[in-house]
Amino acid sequence: MFKQKWLLLLLALLFLVTAGCGQEQLPAEPDNDQESNDEGVEVILPDQLPAEVEEWIEDSRQEFAGQTYELEGVLYLLVTYGERPTGGYDVEITDIAVQDDKVVVTADFTEPAEDEMVTQALTYPYDLAMIEDPDLPVEFVATGAETEIPAR
């Protein structure tokens, strides 16, 4: 009888320990192709871009600029950092704010630190986002290593 109580107690304790070690439920990770900014504008990049957009990106990568391209009711927003001498450079569109009179696209630029080990090859950093075309002018704002984004 004493062994049965200990066995039941041990099983109950084992149950509580395993139940407490279960994986915590976390909110679902957003899909890599989706981003959401503070203004609530959801950016969804498809798996395959239209050929015209891919060609536009390829033709634009060597320039340092903020650009737009409208195709079938979609406004593509492209920020290119131009040709850079090494790896370690990056550009990321961090915010898209659709206001009453314009769309403000904020992009953050980073450069490699002087002591950072980087790829010794030419790079062409860029970031692309797309939204439903609001038919408004677009303003590009730089943060980080750059103070302005040339418009093209």
pLDDT in tens, 6-16: 445 545 544 44
Q: What would the pLDDT profile of 82-129 be if each residue is shown by its tens digit?
A: 999 999 999 999 999 999 999 999 999 999 999 999 999 999 999 999
Model confidence at 43: pLDDT above 90: no
Predicted local confidence at residue 67, as pLDDT = 97
Nearest 5°: the CA angle 62, 110, 29 is: 100
Predicted local confidence at residue 5, as pLDDT = 53
C-alpha 133 chain-centroid distance = 20
Predicted local confidence at residue 33, as pLDDT = 41
Question: Strand ranges (DSSP E) for the chain?
Answer: 34-36, 42-44, 64-71, 74-81, 90-98, 103-110, 126-132, 138-144
Residues facing 69 on adjacent strands: 76
Give me the residue spans of the domains in the chain. 50-152
